[in-house]
Amino acid sequence: MIKTLLIANRGEIARRIIRTCKALGIRTVAVYSDPDANAPHVREADFAVNLPGATPSETYLRAGLIVEAATKAGADAVHPGYGFLSENADFARKVQAAGLTWVGPEPDSIETMGSKVAAKKRMAAAGVPTLPELDPETVTEFPVLIKASAGGGGRGMRIVREKAGFADALASARREAESAFGDPTVFCEPLLEHARHVEVQILADTHGTVWALGERECSIQRRHQKIVEEAPSPAVTGDVRKRLFAAATAAAESIGYVGAGTVEFMLKGEDFHFLEVNTRLQVEHPVTELVHGVDLVEWQLRIAEGAKLPLEAPEPRGHAIEVRLYAEDPANDWRPASGTLHRFHVPGDIRLDSGVEDGSEISVFYDPMLAKVIAYAPTRAAAARKLATALESARIHGLITNRQLLVDILRNDAFLDGDTHTGFLAEHDFTRTVDPQPFALAAALAQAATRRIGTLPLGWRNVRSQQPTAKFLFGDTEIEVEYDPEQATEDTVILDLDGVKTPFRVARYGDLVEVDSPRGSVSLKAVPRFPEPETKLAPGATIAPMPGTVVRVSVNQGDHVEAGTELLVLEAMKMEHRVLANNAGTVTELLVEKAQQVNAGDVLAVVEES
C-alpha cells in the first residue's frame, strides 16, 4: 500500500494528484524550483522539497535529485504526472532501483514507445494501421510533417508544404527537440490535410485486463498543441469506434502495458492511422473522467498497488469539453506572457484544474498554461454553452490570455456542428476588434468614484468650465475620455450604450486597469497627468517581446531585409518564437548573439529604413 507519494511535477497536474491523494488518505510530497517556492502545489502538499535552480534542466528534469528528494521525505512511491520525466525510462528505473513504487507503466514499455520511429515499427507489426515513415534526408514529396522522435506536445514539429523551406524547418525542429527532450532525432510523415486527431484512453492492470475507456477528439490545435478536447468525439460512431478500440487494445497488449496511457490516431473519414502512445496520464484526461465516472489518478495508484480492474469498462454518459487557458496572445503569433496574475476567478458549474490563484507569478521557465476549464452536460451543445458562458464571465487580470478565442471557438457554428480538424484555426477567422472607448469611460468613472472628499468627487466645481478627462493606453493607442464625476460608481459602472444598459466591472492594480463586461474584457494602462519623460528608441529598433534565449541569429550587420524578414529566433516557455523585421531597410546594428539571454524590452537589432 502506498503511504506517501512524491509528485515529480508542478502546477496544475501536481494539484490534481494531491486532490485524489487527500481523498484516499495518501500523504504527498511536492518538489519545487526556486520560482515555484510559493506555488499552490507546494502549499497543498504535506511535505515539500526544494530543487535548487530555475530552469527545467536544473530542477524538474534531474532524475537523481528527485529520487533523493523522495528518499529524504520518506516517500514510498513516485508519480511523474505528465511532461518533464513522465516518459523517461531511465527515471522510472532509478525510482524502482531506490526501492520506490513507480506509478506508471514498466520502464521497458516506456522505452519501446519513447522513440516514435521504433514505436511505429512495433505497431505495424501488431497490425495497427500506420502512416509511411519518410527519411528527412531523402524527402522529395510535399507537404510533409516533421516530428520529434522523443517527445510530444507540439515541440519539434513543423509542417512543410514545399522544398524551399524544408532545410530551415528541419534544423529548427531538431533544435527544439534537443532543447525539449534532449534528443534531436526527427522523422517525417505525409501530411494528412483536414484530418482529425482522435485518441483512445487505455487503462491496464497487472492481471491482463485492458480497458479502452472511450475516445477523445483533440483536433483544434495551435502550434500542433491541443487547446480544445472533448469526449466522446462527434465524428466517431459504430464500426469506426470498434476498430479504434481494437487497435488501441492491440497496441497496449503488444507492449505489455500497465497503468493509464493514450493511443493517438489521425482519423480521416473512416480510416485512421497510428500516431503515438503516450505512456502517461494525458493533459485532457478530465473529459474521460467526467463522461465515464472514473478517477484515472486513483486507478493509477490502485494498479500500482496491484489492484484488479473490473472486466468491463464503465459505459459513457453525456458529453465533456475541456479548453486549455493559456497566458498568450493569439493575435500575436501566440506570444506567451509572464508576470503577475492579479485575479483569477472562473464561475459556474464547471471543473477547474488550475495551477494558479490570485497573485500567482507566471514564470518564463515553464509552459504558459494557467488552467484547464472543463464542462460536462447531457449533450455536446449544452456542454459547449456552459463552458463558453463560464469563460466569458471569468475575471482574469494581469496577463493577456487566449480566453476570448476559446469562447469564440465554442460558439462557432462549424464547431457546434462537429466539423473540426487539425487545420480548424487556420480555416476560420477568429480575429475580433473591440471598441475600447466605453471600457475607458467605465474605467474613468470608477476611478473618479474612489477620489472623493466627503460626498463630493475630487475636482468638483460649483461652476465647471469643462468636463474632467482621463487618458488610457489600449495597447499602443492612447484614448482620452470625458466624464461626469458626479455619476461615478466605485467598481461596477452601468453605461447606456445606444439604449442598451451594459454593466462594466472595473479592477485596478497600480496603473493597470482591467475592465470586464458582456462585450468582452479589456486591459488598459492609466496615463499619468504628468508623465515622466521616456527614452526614445532609435527608428527601426526591434525589441525583445519577452524574456528568452537567442537560439539563432538569421541576419548579419549590413544585410538588407524586407519587412517580415526573420532577424533572430528566441526560445521562451519551451517554444521557439521568430522575431521579424518591422520595416524594410539595412541592419545597421545587431546587438545580440547566439545563446545570449535577453529581457523583455531589450533592443535586439536596428533596421534603418531604406
Give the residue carrying C-alpha cell 491496464. Answer: 204
Q: For residue 260, what are the CA distances in angstroms to 74, 228, 233, 327, 345?
A: 25, 21, 20, 29, 31
- On whether residue 531 sits in a domain, the answer given is no
The answer to whether residues 491 and 443 belong to one domain is yes
- On whether residue 276 sits in a domain, the answer given is yes
Give the residue carrying C-alpha cell 458626479. Answer: 486
The answer to whether residues 280 and 407 belong to one domain is yes
The CATH number that applies at residue 516 is 3.30.700.40
Mapping DSSP to helix (H, G, I), strand (E, B) and coil, where does residue 495 land?
strand
Q: For residue 38, what are the CA distances in angstroms to 66, 84, 240, 357, 358?
A: 19, 20, 47, 11, 12
The answer to whether residues 387 and 442 belong to one domain is no
The CATH number that applies at residue 161 is 3.30.1490.20
Asked if the bond preceding 545 is cis, omega within 30° of 0, the reply is: no
Q: How many C-beta atoms lie closer than 10 Å to residue 53's C-beta?
A: 16
The CATH number that applies at residue 64 is 3.40.50.20
What CA–CA distance (Å, rounded) separates 155 from 599?
23
The answer to whether residues 276 and 154 belong to one domain is no
What CA–CA distance (Å, rounded) separates 485 from 95?
65
For the residues of 262-320, what is the DSSP string, one character each?
EEEEEEETTEEEEEEEE-S--TTHHHHHHHHT--HHHHHHHHHTTPPPPSSPPPP-SEE
The CATH number that applies at residue 299 is 3.30.470.20
- Return the ∠ at Cα 472 (arms to 531 and 444), rounded to 5°: 110
For the chain (length 610 residues), average pLDDT per consecutive 10? 98 98 98 97 98 94 97 98 95 98 97 90 94 89 90 84 92 86 88 95 98 98 95 96 98 97 96 95 98 98 98 97 97 91 97 98 93 98 98 97 98 98 95 92 89 56 67 92 75 92 95 95 90 73 90 94 93 84 93 91 91
Instruction: List the grid coordinates of 145.
Output: 510533417
The answer to whether residues 177 and 304 belong to one domain is no
Domain end point (choices 492, 526, 560): 526
The answer to whether residues 266 and 396 belong to one domain is yes
Give the residue carrying C-alpha cell 493607442. Answer: 477
Straight-line distance from the first to the last Cα atom of the chain, in angstroms, rounded to the nearest whole number: 72
Angle between helices 89-97 and 107-114 (to 10 degrees): 170
* Per-residue model confidence (pLDDT) at position 460: 53
Torsion angle defined by CA atoms of residues 583, 588, 592 and 594, in that order, rounded to the nearest 10 degrees: 90
This prediction has a pTM of 0.91
* Per-residue model confidence (pLDDT) at position 535: 65
* Per-residue model confidence (pLDDT) at position 322: 98
What CA–CA distance (Å, rounded) separates 505 from 347?
15
- On whether residue 142 sits in a domain, the answer given is yes
- On whether residue 534 sits in a domain, the answer given is no
The CATH number that applies at residue 548 is 2.40.50.100
What CA–CA distance (Å, rounded) separates 486 from 318?
52
The answer to whether residues 19 and 163 belong to one domain is no
Domain end point (choices 103, 119, 152): 103
**Considering only CA atoms, which of 238, 204, 215, 214 is closest in space to residue 311?**
204
What CA–CA distance (Å, rounded) separates 27 from 21?
7
Mapping DSSP to helix (H, G, I), strand (E, B) and coil, where does residue 232 land?
coil
What burial letters (b/e) apply to 437-454, b meaning 16+ CB within 10 Å? ebbbbbbbbbbbbeeeee
The answer to whether residues 368 and 227 belong to one domain is yes
Domain end point (choices 477, 502, 526): 526
What burial letters (b/e) apply to 300-323, b meaning 16+ CB within 10 Å? bbbbbeeeebeeebeebebbbbbb
Domain residue limits at 584? 541-609
**Considering only CA atoms, which of 28, 45, 27 is closest in space to residue 36?**
45
Mapping DSSP to helix (H, G, I), strand (E, B) and coil, where does residue 211 land?
strand
- On whether residue 196 sits in a domain, the answer given is no
- On whether residue 160 sits in a domain, the answer given is yes
Mapping DSSP to helix (H, G, I), strand (E, B) and coil, where does residue 252 land?
helix
Q: For residue 31, what are the CA distances in angstroms to 7, 45, 90?
A: 7, 9, 19
Mapping DSSP to helix (H, G, I), strand (E, B) and coil, where does residue 502 land?
strand
Q: How many domains does the chain have?
A: 5
- How many C-alpha atoms does 47 have within 13 Å on its Cβ side? 18
Contact 587, 605 (CB under 8 A): yes
The partner residues of 477 in beta bridges, in order of sequence, read 474
- On whether residue 533 sits in a domain, the answer given is no
DSSP 149: S
Instruction: List the grid coordinates of 218.
Output: 483533440
DSSP 142: S
The answer to whether residues 379 and 301 belong to one domain is yes
What burial letters (b/e) apply to 207-228, b meaning 16+ CB within 10 Å? eeebbbbbbbbbbbbbbbbbbb
The answer to whether residues 454 and 306 belong to one domain is no
Instruction: List the grid coordinates of 450.
Output: 474612489
Phi-psi region of 302 (alpha: psi -120 to 50; beta: other; left: phi over 0): alpha
The answer to whether residues 321 and 388 belong to one domain is yes
* Per-residue model confidence (pLDDT) at position 447: 87
* Per-residue model confidence (pLDDT) at position 586: 95
- On whether residue 168 sits in a domain, the answer given is yes
Question: CB burial class (10 A; 0-12, 13-18, 19+) of residue 595?
Answer: exposed
The answer to whether residues 406 and 289 belong to one domain is yes
Question: CB burial class (10 A; 0-12, 13-18, 19+) of residue 151?
Answer: buried
Largest interatomic CA distance in the chain: 89
120 membership: H or E segment, kind and range:
helix 116-125
Give the residue carrying C-alpha cell 465524428. Answer: 235
